[in-house]
Structure 1
Amino acid sequence: MRLPYVRRQPSAVSRQPSAVRRSPSVVRRPSFTFSIQKMTLVQLEYLVEIAKHGSFSIASKSCFVTQPTLSMQMSNLEKELGVLIFDRSKKPLLLTEVGKLILAQANVILKESRLMKEKVLEYKGEISGQLRLGILPTIAPYLLPLFIFSFTKKYPKVVLKTEELTTTEIIEKLAKDTLDAGIVATPLNEKGINEMPLFAERMYAYVSPKHPWIALRDICLDEVKSGELWLLKEEHCFRSQAIQVCATDEKELEDNFVFESGSLETLKRLVEEFNGLTILPELATLHLTAKQRKLLKPFRKKQPSRQISIITSRHYIKKHLITALKE
């Protein structure tokens, strides 16, 4: 016999929502998907380069990326921060007021990220990375050949980037963190600069074969005042050092200035071919020929000298690399 159809009523348990039927310890949470822009160190590096060059096209070449890529990354960064970093209506590009604040903070972040990497390398005892070195033009051609080969051979994982700069330029770049260290004449007594002495070098007079003093065995400092001096340009610190050797007052020598050069090698050639004399640091005398050494005269009684040091900012990062360089 066919039973009549009876619709089953759901039980109390089956009427409850599925979430309630689950174990009390399991709670289903709603799922959301966010699309959030995240700033990166690369974007901050691009920002620094654009601010440095004032141009997207130049900065893109410096960063080895295409200009559209660079522009897109800056646009993404500006969207995330909700402000304009650059005033694109200006040529060259200028930072907005808030852009200046962002740039300052970007430099801090990038410096701290480099410090983190250096700490890891230091912990591992690994000598590697890039060392950016500024060196005086009166030192570079004579000192670099003495250590560059042995240093790079001993530390093959270190990329040593050197640049000839004046003392003022080196100090400025250290402050901007675009150099790690410099090799200059000291003492400087500059606030925020750390000095690590390397060596002292003596100074000599280099006298023309046509000059009356060529017959002298040595030269008195006081007598140099009446000579004809060939000096470096004003931006070179060795100019002031030479003047201090020869006179107490620069005005006393003004009538004797025949020519101002940016190179000690040029000064040597001028002395050899014409007349007068110049002052040479000891490093610049190491590779003189026998003929040239006859033009070299020590100073009588008091032998002037200068101290050569490695300088860094007070809060320099690459301590292990700089220590390796000093050694």
Structure 2
Amino acid sequence: MNWNQLQYVLTIAQEKNITKAAQKLYLSQPSLSMSLKNLEEELGVEIFERKKGVLELTYAGELFCHWAEDSLRSKQILSDQLSDISSNARHKIRLGISPHRSLILLPDVLTDFYKTADNCDLQIVEEPTYLLREMLEDDQLDLIIDVPHPDTINYQSELVAREQILLAAPKAMDKQLQKNLTLDGSLRLTADLKAPFILLTEKQIIGQISQRIFETSNFRPLTSITCSNIDTALTLVARGLGICFAPEVFVWQERFADHISYYPINNYRDTRQICLVYRKNHYLNQHLLLLLDIFRRKIPLLYQH
């Protein structure tokens, strides 16, 4: 048994298919099948069984996978600790962040980071919250910049900023929306607001927040378009196709500045927390500690803009 075989089994368990797992591992299908067969013979148990055309873990396989995950995690911790001892240490950091947030945060943060960390590789994964969270839980990411993780026992969610949710509307609608503005500049969602809404699905955090805003305001929206990407929604708003809700971080994106106006929502002033989220039981190497420190300094400054 070797470290590669542990990863092979975990990948097969994830893909539920030898061919797909082999492609992901850059191995031939016969080679992966033989490796699995040899491991099962060595252990004296079957790790997988075929059910309705897919590979499912046996009970022995489930036990093996739990052990394999713990073993690979321990191996990575030891590797990071030994690398920190070496003067020529080179680390790899796997960072997860939503696409719209990376565009605003990363250029400034990484410029500072690489002034010091010239021997660190950085893998940036840009996905929505639910996928980033899954990847963090599967040990495919070291750190995500996102809302807090609900599991406070295994994950540290370090608060660095609070973010308002705003209503984004085409500038061409500014005059039409004047009647809905309050003295403090916030916008009321009332029955006479006839603009079509461009909504995100409830898989997205903004989609979930949108529904809460409608419930709080006792407002029934006219929905014309539903999509799964906030950038797409805002691009459609910029074209005058409707209005949508958006995180305040978009206020600082120059590409929409000439086409979109942003309004606080009158009866919804809740903010969402922006956190540095990482596993509590993971060793934080020197480069990851440096990156965390830069995020702690830079993100609050952005939200004081």
| TM-score, length of structure 2 as denominator length | 0.77
Q: Identical aligned pairs, as a percentage?
A: 23
State the structure with bigger RCO (CA 8 A, min sep 6), 1 or 2: 2
Q: Which amino acid aligns with 1:268?
A: L
**Offset, 1:138:** 4.3
Measured against aligned partners, the alpha-carbon deviations of 1:286-324 in whole angstroms (never above 9, x if no partner) come to 233596277234567996643321111232334534322
- Pairs aligned (count): 286
Q: Secondary structure at the match of 1:162?
A: strand
Corresponding residue to 2:21 among 59, 81, 95: 59
Rg (Cα) greater in structure: 1
Q: Secondary structure at the match of 1:285?
A: helix
Whole-angstrom distance in 1 between the partners of 2:250 and 2:261: 13
| 2:6 match | 44
**Structure 2 unaligned runs (5+)?**
295-305
| 1:132 match | 94
**Structure 1 unaligned runs (5+)?**
1-38
| 2:173 match | 210
Q: Which amino acid aligns with 1:210?
A: M
Whole-angstrom distance in 2 between the partners of 1:202 and 1:110: 39
**Alignment map for 1:151-300 (pairs within 5 Å):** 151-152=113-114, 154-186=116-148, 188=150, 190-208=152-170, 209-211=172-174, 212-213=176-177, 219-221=185-187, 223-226=188-191, 227=193, 228=195, 229-242=197-210, 244=212, 246-249=213-216, 252-274=218-240, 276-288=242-254, 292=258, 295-297=261-263
Alpha carbons 1:218, 1:298 under 8 Å: kept: no
Whole-angstrom distance in 2 between the partners of 1:302 and 1:94: 46
Q: Secondary structure at the match of 2:173?
A: coil
Whole-angstrom distance in 1 between the partners of 2:32 and 2:235: 49
Whole-angstrom distance in 2 between the partners of 1:147 and 1:117: 26
Alpha carbons 1:214, 1:295 under 8 Å: kept: no
Alpha carbons 2:166, 2:247 under 8 Å: kept: yes
Whole-angstrom distance in 2 between the partners of 1:53 and 1:287: 38
Whole-angstrom distance in 2 between the partners of 1:103 and 1:289: 46
Corresponding residue to 2:103 among 138, 141, 146: 141
- Which protein has the bigger strand share? 2
Alpha carbons 1:151, 1:325 under 8 Å: kept: yes
| 1:4 match | none
| Cα RMSD, aligned residues only | 3.3
| TM-score, length of structure 1 as denominator length | 0.73
Q: Which amino acid aligns with 2:9?
A: L
Does 108-117 or 183-192 show the bigger shift? 183-192
Q: 1:64 to 1:322 in 2, by over 3 A?
A: same
Whole-angstrom distance in 2 between the partners of 1:63 and 1:290: 41
Q: Which amino acid aligns with 1:224?
A: L
